Amino acid sequence: MRQLARICSAGLLLLMPLSPLWAEDGAKEARTLLEKMVQVTRTLNYDGTFIYMHEGRLMTLRILHGADVKGERERLISLSGTAREVMRGEHGNVCIRSDNRNVVGNARARRPFNGALTMDVDRLASYYDFTLTGEDRIANRSAHMVAVIPKDQYRYGYRLGVDSATGLLLKSDLVNESGKLVEQILFTSLGISDTPPAELQEPCDVEHAGWHNDAHKKVPHLPVDVGWSVAQLPEGFTLAEHEKQIMPGRPMPVEHLVFSDGLALVSVFIEKLEGPDRFSGFTRRGAVNAYGSVVDDHQITVVGEVPRATVQLIGESIRHVMPVAQP
Amino acid sequence: MVTDRAEQVSALMDGELQGEALQHALDELKCDAGLKGCWGRYHLISDVLHNHASVQLNHSRNDSIMPLSGKTHSMRGWHSRRIIKPLAGFALAASVAALAIFSVQTFVFISPGTDTSQLAALSSPSVAASPVSTQSQGARWESAKPAFESRLNHYLTNHNEYSTSAGLQGMLPHARIVAYDADK
């Protein structure tokens, strides 16, 4: 035992002077890896199968991604459970197909998000620490493991596996503020190609039974009510988007405010109360927390892949400081 | 040909399954609670063997491994291939030192307000040591009225459109939509 202690001490003494340099290099390398990962996620052509695990449930999905001169196209297909498919076309329109009528939503063409395609890691470094935690083998490929550790209780952390060869994300663990794994994505197979997978050729706006696609509909540009504001935001969160839209099945237009720290996103939905349906308090679905309240005769709903404390802080500080704008 | 189901899980972990065999194994894993447990235990064992043992490793988990001791032969020897390595004195000293320094440096990076439980979980790649919570109602909104559940789903769909273009995971947030449990 004493010999083991001496060996350990010797090793510590040998390596201690180098440790700050290693740590600094590791953080820098981790940040470089993430920047590359965000880029290749959108530029590589790949066809892979992954496991999605959440709430003790496991399902298998296939993802196809292609990018060429026509633009970026993606397709996500459930291989287990209810047959479902999500396709995103080169113009950003999203189609959702299901084998039954329980479609959870639809989507419209949308202009690219302001922060898309790049990630400001320098900005993120104010709110997260980035650390290389080692190497692993995922989907029979070598991967660098990166931990993204939030500096406060208002954000989730990530444990990422990044393909050593391409920089593609192979594994993503979403860890909540209590250190519990709330969601995991893990690739089991992955094929990289020079050209987009052939199965991406089907256009997203195809008009056949089962596809739910509102991309072809004219979406009127509705003036937003700038009177809505959030008095208390977690540090680093800023308003990234504010729009007013008509949602399926809703009689009144819905204000949609998006707040982001550059990584985590929180949406605030505001709509005029109609009828008895109202939602106050918390609910959650997997990693997504939601908080509802009623302010000035409007239903406020805060939704995001953030801790409960975040949706509560934002939800409880929403105020309307100006009269509702008249159309 | 992999015949034993536990062995199939082991082969799945090792990435040795392809095509139909892979799909079959994934389908079985999804449906069979026993195999899911096996999957979790194998990951836990793998993490321990890879020195990724989490600080969250508790007695109940240790207990759950004990009955497995008679079954690990079905893991096709992958564990023994990886654990039995020559440990020369200096190599051992260096690895222990590196582990210790890494731990120290991790705390150097962290600001005072960081939640250490989250840090511990993030520092360990273990799946089984920090299990997915099973306390909620699965892929549906917890305790939400049916009338409002539909509205929440529309909200989530709209929210995900931004998540896919702004986050780290590309289109993967749409997995939440695809995973929606419509059978309940």
Q: Which of B14, B43, B9 is nearest to B26 (CA)?
A: B9
Confidence (pLDDT) at A289: 92
| For helices B89-109 and A2-15, angle between their N-to-C axes, nearest 10 degrees | 60
Candidate from A11, A79, A181 with C-beta closest to B121: A181
Q: How confident is the model at residue B184 (pLDDT cuts 50, 70, 90)?
A: very low
- A290, β-bridge pairs: A283, A303
Q: A-chain residues within 8 Å CB-CB of B143?
A: 283
Mean pLDDT (whole number) for B39-47:
59
Mutate to test the interface with B, among A285, A299, A301 (most CBs of B within 10 A): A285
For B144-165, the pLDDT digits (tens) are 667 778 788 888 878 877 776 6
Contact A57 B15 (CB under 8 A): no
- List, in sequence order, the alpha helices (H) in chain B: 5-13, 19-31, 33-49, 59-65, 78-83, 89-109, 116-123, 146-166, 175-178
Tell me which residue has tokens 């759950």: B64
| For helices B33-49 and B19-31, angle between their N-to-C axes, nearest 10 degrees | 110
Confidence (pLDDT) at A196: 92
**Do A131 and A241 meet the contact criterion of CB atoms below 8 Å apart?**
no
Confidence (pLDDT) at B6: 67
Q: What is the 3-state secondary structure (H, E, C) of A124-172?
A: HCCCEEEEEEEEEEECCEEEEEEEEEECCCCCCEEEEEEECCCCCEEEE
Confidence (pLDDT) at A275: 75
Confidence (pLDDT) at B83: 31
- A211, β-bridge pairs: A97
Question: What percent of chain B is predicted at pLDDT more than 90?
Answer: 0
- Between CA A5 and CA A13, with CA A7 as vertex, the angle to 5 degrees is 100
What is the signed CA dihedral for B174, A105, A109, B159, rounded to 10 degrees? -60
Tell me which residue has tokens 């931990």: A147
Tokens found for residue A124 = 């993120």
Q: Which of B50, B51, B52 is nearest to B82 (CA)?
A: B50
ipTM: 0.76
Mutate to test the interface with B, among A102, A104, A298 (most CBs of B within 10 A): A104
For A85-142, the pLDDT digits (tens) are 887 776 666 677 766 543 434 444 444 433 344 567 888 899 999 999 999 999 999 9
Q: A-chain residues within 8 Å CB-CB of B148?
A: 277-279, 292
Mean pLDDT (whole number) for B99-120:
37
Q: Which of A19, A34, A177, A131 is nearest to B110 (CA)?
A: A131
Give pLDDT < 70 ranges for chain A: 1-24, 90-94, 98-119, 202-220, 248-249, 322-327
Q: What's the pTM?
A: 0.63
Cβ-Cβ contacts under 8 Å between A and B: the total is 345
Selected residue with higher pLDDT from A287 and B16: A287
CA–CA distance, A12 with A4 (Å, rounded to integer)? 12
CA–CA distance, A86 with B150 (Å, rounded to integer)? 18
Q: How confident is the model at residue B1 (pLDDT cuts 50, 70, 90)?
A: very low
Selected residue with higher pLDDT from B81 and A273: A273
Q: A-chain residues within 8 Å CB-CB of B144?
A: 279, 283
Any idea what DSSP says for residue B173?
A: G
Tell me, rounded to whole angstroms, the distance of Cα A2 from its chain centroid. Answer: 50
Selected residue with higher pLDDT from B12 and A194: A194
